Amino acid sequence: MVRANVECLFDRKRKPEDYIKAAHWVFGRTLGDFTFERCCIALGTRKDVLRLRIHYEFWRRWYVFPIEFPFVIDAVPDSVEGEIYMLAGDEGYALARAAWMHPGIRSSQLLEVAAAATEAKSKKRPTEDRMREALQLLSEKYLMSQYNDSWYLTGRNPVLRAMDLSSAPNRVSRTHLSWSRMF
């Protein structure tokens, strides 16, 4: 069931309604006997890590979800939430949340949505420079990844990390980098 819904997310021949339905099952809050959470428990998989992996695959394939998820979605995964707050504060969390809600969101829209969310929480609108600084911090730690003008909450990004490490004096082999071991 998990595999079928994830494959549907990446099948470009599907109807838009199918994408929404699959995304709702994977990322949204659903009821019933066969929920994403229950399937993950049965498989011994951490749901947050699997959801982040799907966002990482969105980035790898440069898949831009056509709209913001139009349903109630779980919060930014716990496995990266604390790190995001410590690194970039409320602005960073708002950026991560916007990318989580809309994989492939464009830079200008990302900054606008996140600034509005930060303003709603703190009653003060952050400057564009502060938003860009927070985005840069998240990007440097591979929590958020950019593909052209599209942004994704990838949690970790071994590809970008390997590219950065390959130019380091003490190189690390790409074969030693594993996405799942980063959590």
Q: Above 90 in pLDDT, residue 67?
A: no
Task: Characterize 139-148 residue by residue with b for buried, 16 or more Cβ atoms within 10 angstroms of its Cβ, and e for exposed.
Answer: bebbbbbbbe
Taking only Cα atoms into account, the Rg of the chain, rounded to an integer number of angstroms, comes to 17
d(CA 119, CA 123): 5
Range 2-31 average pLDDT: 88
- The stretch 55-67 carries a mean pLDDT of 88
DSSP 82-129: HHHHHHHHHHHHHHHHHHHHSTTEEHHHHHHHHHHHHHHHHSSPPPHH
pTM: 0.85
For range 31-42, the mean pLDDT: 88
Which pLDDT belongs to residue 92?
97
Please tell me the total number of residues recorded for the chain in this structure.
183
Residue 95 in this model has a pLDDT that exceeds 90: yes
